[in-house]
Amino acid sequence: MLDQRQHSMLDAMGIQLWSRRQQHQPGDIVDVTQPDEAEEQLHDWESLQQAVETCHRCGLAATRTQTVFGAGNQHAELMIIGEAPGADEDRQGEPFVGRAGQLLNQMLLACGFSREQVYIANILKCRPQGNCNPSPEEMISCRHYLNRQIELVAPKLLLAVGGVAATSLLDSDKPVGQLRGELYHYGGQKVPMIVTYHPAYLLRQPSEKRKSWEDLQFAMRKLGDLS
Ligand code: URA
């Protein structure tokens, strides 16, 4: 049985261990330092998706309509990482299908990508109740799934949209305004990553769209350099 520090070290080295956990109820405090008995390696898309669909690693399992795994091109050059499903996504089982999703689609089109050409996933696979920010425990519980998705897609570039995705992936507490404009490298595979504003934030603050467009142009330039 590995402790949390050993799990973190394996994560940092890009080695994925998978564990099934007991079922949790909403509001449960999940002790992520106590991984469960049966650890399994998840190799392919099918086993990964099935593990997500049957996941009970945190209390959100009890309140979700369904899990929201991810969508798009499994060999995409560009992978978008958002925060967590909202009400629309929870209902439809697909990421970014609400108003923020429509804006994301337009942002992608402006970069010459259709939604189907990129891969879209979230930090959390289940909707947080009442659209709360994901808790650290929920994000840790879900991280293995996202890491494996990133490994399988093997994108040239990750685009983290919004503060939750950016700070969680970069283990930072800086706001997006300070994280954008830099090229980062994520995880053991050192996947290039750029940060921009969340489309839901841009719907509330349309004046920030210009900065977001600068970020997208930066991302397109980096994608060009990486090809
Ligand atoms: N916001 C996100 O971060 N992800 C979604 O899937 C929908 C809205």
Query: Could you read off the pLDDT of 165-196 as tens digits, one per residue?
Result: 999 999 999 999 999 999 999 999 999 999 99
Comparison of pLDDT for 154 and 33, the residue scoring more:
154
Q: Which of 28-32, 62-66, 136-140, 144-148 has the lowest mean pLDDT?
A: 28-32
Task: State the closest ligand 1 atom to the C-alpha of 83, by its place in the atom list counted from 1.
Answer: 3
Question: Would residue 20 count as lying in a domain?
Answer: no
CA pair distance 48, 19, nearest whole angstrom: 12
Ligand 1 centroid vs 94 CA: distance in angstroms? 9
Q: Which of 7-11, 29-33, 178-182 has the lowest mean pLDDT?
A: 29-33
Question: What total number of domains does the chain contain?
Answer: 1
Ligand 1 centroid vs 1 CA: distance in angstroms? 34
Burial class (CB in 10 A: 0-12, 13-18, 19+), 196: buried
Ligand 1 centroid vs 9 CA: distance in angstroms? 29
Question: Would residue 82 count as lying in a domain?
Answer: yes
- Average confidence (pLDDT) over 2-28: 47
Ligand 1, atom 7: closest residue by C-alpha? 96
**Is residue 60 predicted with pLDDT exceeding 70?**
yes
Question: Would residue 12 count as lying in a domain?
Answer: no
Q: Pocket of ligand 1, candidates 122, 124, 133, 161: which has the most ligand atoms within 8 Å of its Cβ, to mutate?
A: 122
State pLDDT tens for residues 103-115. Answer: 999 999 999 999 9
- Average confidence (pLDDT) over 2-31: 47
Question: Would residue 56 count as lying in a domain?
Answer: no
CA pair distance 42, 182, nearest whole angstrom: 32
Question: Would residue 199 count as lying in a domain?
Answer: yes
Question: Would residue 29 count as lying in a domain?
Answer: no
Question: Would residue 128 count as lying in a domain?
Answer: yes
Average pLDDT of the chain is 87
With a Cβ cut-off of 6 Å, ligand 1 is lined by 82-86, 89, 95-96, 100-101, 122, 200
Q: Pocket of ligand 1, candidates 80, 81, 89, 102: which has the most ligand atoms within 8 Å of its Cβ, to mutate?
A: 89
Domain at 87, CATH number: 3.40.470.10
Cβ proximity of 91 and 65 under 8 Å:
yes
Question: Would residue 144 count as lying in a domain?
Answer: yes
Cβ proximity of 163 and 123 under 8 Å:
no
Domain that holds residue 116: 69-226
Ligand 1 centroid vs 37 CA: distance in angstroms? 32
Name every residue whose Cβ is closer than 8 Å to that of residue 13 and which is 6 or more positions away in sequence. Answer: 188
Q: Which of 1-15, 101-115, 126-140 has the lowest mean pLDDT?
A: 1-15
Return the pLDDT at 227.
Answer: 81
